[in-house]
Amino acid sequence: MRDAIRFALNGAIRAVDDVPPHMTLLNWLRAEGLTAAKEGCAEGDCGACTVLLGTPLPDGAEGFDWRAVNACLVLVPQVDGRAVVTAEGLAKGGSAPHAAQTLMAETHATQCGYCTPGFVMALAALGRTPARDDESVMDSIAGNLCRCTGYRPILEAARALPLEAPAPEEAALAEKLREIAAAPLDYRAGSHRFLAPTTLDDALRLRQQFPEAWLWAGGTDQGLRVTKQFQVPPGILYLGRVPDLRGITEDKDGLTIAANTPYADALEALAALAPGLDGMIRRIGAAQVRNLGTLGGNIGTASPIGDTLPPLIALDAEITLVSAERGRRTVAARDFVTGYRKTVLDPDELIVAIRIPRPAPGTHIAAYKIAKRVDQDISTVAAAFALKVQDGRVDHARLAYGGVAATPVRAEKAEKALLGQPWTPETVAAVKRAVAEDISPMDDARGTAAYRTAVAANLLDRLWHETAEPGTPARLEAL
């Protein structure tokens, strides 16, 4: 058990033992005089604070898994056993600028410059991504906001970026950090505490001992309680170092995603299991948020506008919970949320895994996110449908919605109206009326109740066009 936070900053190991555990990495960096990372929003939306976070690859592999993250959402103790690179540390030996810096200058991709270090760091992460296509280039900067330059020259810089080989000294640094990260952390500052166990048993024991401690997985939701609501956590139980809470296993019947696997790692497997989900998950936050945020964290918020519960309900997923005292239990995704931001989770329990059964052959899976913007926006209405039509009639139907009630909703009246019916526009019209009875939306800044009701119903038209007339351009991107 260690009590000081140790990590590498721009290649040199640092030990920190004098900050409150809920201090953000951004605030710490700036207090250290590393002011390239800027605070634009302090909520993960602008990318001005982007840094590279390197996690040593597991035993047997050399070097780091490098990702762009928002330093405003990461706590200092969260980087224990990891490496942080800021724009100041990109130029090797402080001499020639990094390719991302040179290209941003050469393509005239900066004007006021406030956003520029964040873009440079997002590009530096892209430069370490071997498999790259135009979509991933766009994705890499979708979480960075620039109000002066316009994105064309920035994209030009991104597209010209060469692939960066790991520096020779990275292997030795990763080895040192791997040793540091092997020991759990119990960091205390005054009455504040940050606990980072390295086994599930220890995590469960600590959960039982300190039920008041905030669970912290990616922190992309919890972080805002600190930076926006100025809450001070009585303690933090960090789950990001527990191997049993991370990883994906696949078998012939489906997929099991450990609860705190970041979205960025789960995307490919999810898209392979149910291609219709890909677009929805890719629209959760931006790359920096998906590099930290997790499925378990999304479910854990029980937010009525969280994007993952509707697809999980439509796919008949199950959620496994575990406590030190009572062991494991499994609940259906549709039963997990019991009220506005309330779940079946007991105070000593953790979510350990999400099991998604493989859809039966011929099942059409669709997930739709209706928001005011394509990137970096919260859903006004989210919908996920699993539909199987056999001999012209609906054989299986699961319809689930977010943003239309205090909890995610399974539209059971609408499902009943569908089952056994011919898959025709007339049936769709009847089902649309039933959907209005299943949901109870409200007015808010994102949309009125009437708008949400109309959208929830109209998405069934889109489903019909996509399944019955596959050539119809039913999505914006198809026009």
Ligand X SMILES: Cc1cc2nc3c(=O)[nH]c(=O)nc-3n(C[C@H](O)[C@H](O)[C@H](O)COP(=O)(O)OP(=O)(O)OC[C@H]3O[C@@H](n4cnc5c(N)ncnc54)[C@H](O)[C@@H]3O)c2cc1C
Dig out the tokens for 462 from the structure: 């889109």
Residue (of 189, 402, 399) closest to 314 by Cα position: 399
Q: Are 328 and 351 in contact (CB under 8 A)?
A: no
Instruction: Give the dihedral sign, CA 140/143/144/149.
Output: positive
Instruction: Give CA–CA dist 225/301, Å, rounded.
Output: 12
Spell out, one character per residue from 10 to 49, where the chain touches ligand X: x when CB under 6 A holds, - when not.
---------------------------------xxx----
Output 73 or 384, the one with its CB closest to ligand FES.
73
DSSP state letter for 234: S
Q: For ligand FES, which residue of 107, 149, 256, 261 counts as binding (CB under 6 A)?
A: 149
Instruction: Give CA–CA dist 436/452, Å, rounded.
Output: 10
For 16-44, the DSSP string reads E-SS-TT-BHHHHHHHTT--SS--SSSSS
Instruction: Give CA–CA dist 456/385, Å, rounded.
Output: 11
Residue (of 70, 55, 108) closest to 243 by Cα position: 55
Instruction: Give CA–CA dist 358/347, Å, rounded.
Output: 31
Please list every residue from 161 through 220 that binds ligand X, using CB under 6 A.
215-220
**Residue 6 dihedral angles phi and psi, to the nearest 5°:** -125, 130
Point out which span in 14-22, 106-114, 218-226, 255-263 binds ligand FES (CB under 6 A). Answer: 106-114
Residue 115 lies near ligand FES (rule: CB under 6 A): yes
- Select from ligand FES, ligand X, none the partner in contact with residue 285, using the beta carbon and a kind-dependent cut-off of 5 to 8 Å: ligand X
CA 47 to chain centre: 15
Residue for token digits 């997985």? 217
Point out which span in 1-9, 37-45, 91-99, 274-282 binds ligand FES (CB under 6 A). Answer: 37-45
Residue 303's identity, in one-letter code, is S
Output 301 or 453, the one with its CB closest to ligand X.
301
Residue 469's identity, in one-letter code, is E
The number of residues that bind ligand X (CB under 6 A) is: 33
Output 350 or 439, the one with its CB closest to ligand X.
350
- Select from ligand X, ligand FES, none the partner in contact with residue 107, using the beta carbon and a kind-dependent cut-off of 5 to 8 Å: none
Q: Are 429 and 458 in contact (CB under 8 A)?
A: no
Q: For ligand FES, which residue of 9, 22, 27, 44 counts as binding (CB under 6 A)?
A: 44
* Residue 22, Cβ density class (10 Å: 0-12 exposed, 13-18 middle, ≥19 buried): buried
Q: For ligand FES, which residue of 92, 108, 147, 475 counts as binding (CB under 6 A)?
A: 147
- Select from ligand FES, ligand X, none the partner in contact with residue 293, using the beta carbon and a kind-dependent cut-off of 5 to 8 Å: ligand X
Please list every residue from 56 through 75 that binds ligand FES, using CB under 6 A.
70, 72
Q: Do you know the residue count of the chain? A: 479
According to DSSP, the β-strands at 192-196 and 236-238 are parallel
DSSP state letter for 21: T
Query: How far apart are the two ends of the chain, measured CA to CA in Å?
Result: 57
372 SS3 class: coil
Instruction: Give CA–CA dist 31/27, Å, rounded.
Output: 6
Spell out, one character per residue from 252 to 271, where the chain touches ligand X: x when CB under 6 A holds, - when not.
-------xx-----------
Residue 45 lies near ligand FES (rule: CB under 6 A): yes
**Residue 324 dihedral angles phi and psi, to the nearest 5°:** -65, -40
Spell out, one character per residue from 368 to 407, where the chain touches ligand X: x when CB under 6 A holds, - when not.
--------x-x-----------------------------
Least distance in Å: CB of 264 to ligand X? 11
Output 23 or 48, the one with its CB closest to ligand FES.
48
Output 43 or 65, the one with its CB closest to ligand X.
43
Point out which span in 109-117, 204-212, 218-226, 465-473 binds ligand FES (CB under 6 A). Answer: 109-117
Residue (of 197, 85, 122) closest to 375 by Cα position: 122
- Select from ligand X, ligand FES, none the partner in contact with residue 146, using the beta carbon and a kind-dependent cut-off of 5 to 8 Å: ligand FES
Spell out, one character per residue from 325 to 364, where the chain touches ligand X: x when CB under 6 A holds, - when not.
--------------------x----xx-------------
Residue 293 lies near ligand X (rule: CB under 6 A): yes
| Interaction site with ligand FES (CB under 6 A) | 39-42, 44-49, 70, 72, 110-116, 146-149
Q: Which residues would be at the binding site for ligand X (CB under 6 A)?
A: 43-45, 215-222, 239, 245, 259-260, 284-285, 289, 292-294, 296-298, 300-301, 306-307, 345, 350-351, 376, 378
